[in-house]
Chains A and B, each alone.
Chain A
């Protein structure tokens, strides 16, 4: 009986400690602004920090002191995964000494593990450039995959902060209904884009094109991760002369030098699309990001 009462006391203390942490605001470290925005939809009360902006290439981020300090305090780290952050996230985890966000069993969430990525490779060789065996990690321009990821993220939030589970589920239901209402509207607007061919920078918009039925016929990068070279641009110019290309598209964090060169010579419009929230003034959340990208594409068409 004494053991029993001891156990009870321990359980009470544990519950108290747990509820104290549950009442505290959840501290979320997002690797990219799109995941900061998704977390904001699903956990509006959380304290959310985005490690990168839409102007920064998420492949190339410095494991800088401010990020270590933020990760040290995080309850949850939300990243694209599929090795997008392989060049900096492991160093941050090592330096931040925060065991809570080290494994996906606990407070680490990789979006790519909650959906199926495109372009997975069985064989990866450095001569192929910066490719990811786990598939293309730029997932956030597929609205259906966003639903998959939102479901997974809600489960993770509920796991970490069980006391607020109902709130997270309500937020998910609210987000999902608004998102599902927006999808047919976007698909309606974008109907005319199906079958359009573009030249783009990197495979950043792979999921967008896949969703809207567009085709990226050539890449400004000779190989993933490598900057456009003049010989490669010359071959793109040749390709553009076939006359079936709608536009040259780059993201908010890509240099427009190669694209401008190509655009001027081939008489193709060059458009810089926001890669994420904050990539242009109009993109303030996931909804307005999609609105903005589709309306910009329609403008070129």
Chain B
């Protein structure tokens, strides 16, 4: 009818002839993906360890460039511009290369990148259903953990998704507080090993579970003088509430993470409605150590006079459970509960403190690229740097422009 076979043969010839031209329209060195994220908010209070402050503010304004460098390497660059107390700060969040052509399901990523530990950490915050990361992320990962290092990943050739990976990082952001600035930190401080397993349940549901072990050689806070009880170790947490450092507020030598995510959509069609249920549990152990190993026997004495339990066995822990439901292409809502139980280190003993957060968010999406969110947070702090019961309302927009990369599960 309207298209004769002859025309289609010509079409075919043209298509073959123009294959290279068609490829040029994909992201490549001459035409990389360039995108920006704009994030602004107004909020009625402060959340502990958060980068967002009371009043009007900007979140992370992000500029990203990515492309296949050649057939062997992919590269991405993400710069973050933050504004705090009238100062504009520039930070490189990602600057990495990744191999594209290693055999056997292997890949290597090197440079600065988001660690693949836990569920949320390797996701960009602008895709979250809430304005802030859960308290566990703020406490143990400095919001989200990116660092300079290297990762080796492997995907098994199985029908059930199974990936394993190991990372090594400089670990600067994960260093324990250093009272006198004299501590000799390991230059390669953080190692992680993780695995994720996932699949589908019928046409409608998908799941993934993950386990992570993170070793932080510089994570123990060292006690130097046993009898100097009032000489508080200058914990990062102490100045973190008002600052905006991306360092972890609470550290330890060993971190264990268990995470899961479950997604559902009617008929597996994500166009109109879908549900995401996710949760993670973190446990950070070996938070306190001796500066001098030859004083080993002193532990027992110290603990014996103190009534704070065995400080050397103390650990931090935290978890969250989050659900987000998109009930129409334009509207979504989220409900999240999270808490952290951490120990503030005072010399050679620890003080327990707790933060609980219950959050409700409602978001309007004019398209996939723009979100306006209203969020209510009820926070309950116990000995948490002066944070007590409080209610916070946040009104936020998050918008992406440009050729934005595909999202992860």
Contact = CB atoms under 8 A, between A and B. Distances in A.
Interface of A: 52-53, 55-57, 59-66, 68-70, 72-73, 86-91, 94-99, 102-104, 113-116, 126, 129-130, 133-134, 142, 144-145, 147-148, 151-152, 187, 210-213, 225-227, 253-255
Contacts of A227: 272, 328-330
Nearest to B157: A73
A31 to B, nearest CB: 13
Contacts, number: 169
B254 to A, nearest CB: 27
B8 A147 contact: yes
Nearest to A223: B367
**Taking each of B1, B163, B401, which has the highest tally of chain A beta carbons within 10 Å of its own beta carbon?**
B1
B15 A115 contact: yes
13 contacts: A64-B198, A65-B161, A65-B197, A65-B208, A66-B160, A68-B155, A70-B159, A87-B368, A87-B406, A95-B155, A134-B25, A152-B12, A211-B2
A87 B263 CA distance: 17
A53 B105 CA distance: 27
B100 A116 contact: no
Contact of B409 (A53, A62, A104, A225): A62
A44 to B, nearest CB: 22
Contact of B5 (A60, A116, A144): A144
A20 B263 CA distance: 39
A53 B268 contact: yes
Nearest to B66: A90
A213 B2 CA distance: 7
A97 B407 contact: no
A187 B2 CA distance: 11
Interface of B: 1-5, 7-8, 11-12, 14-16, 19, 22-23, 25, 71, 74, 98, 100-103, 105-107, 153-163, 196-200, 203, 206-208, 263, 267-272, 328-330, 367-369, 401, 405-409
Nearest to B405: A90
A255 B272 contact: yes
A65 B231 CA distance: 50
A114 B12 contact: yes
A227 B106 CA distance: 41
A94 B74 contact: yes
Given A61-B270, A91-B407, A104-B23, 20 more contacts: A55-B267, A62-B263, A63-B406, A65-B198, A65-B199, A65-B206, A66-B159, A72-B105, A72-B156, A91-B408, A98-B105, A102-B71, A115-B15, A134-B25, A144-B5, A152-B15, A211-B1, A212-B1, A225-B368, A255-B271
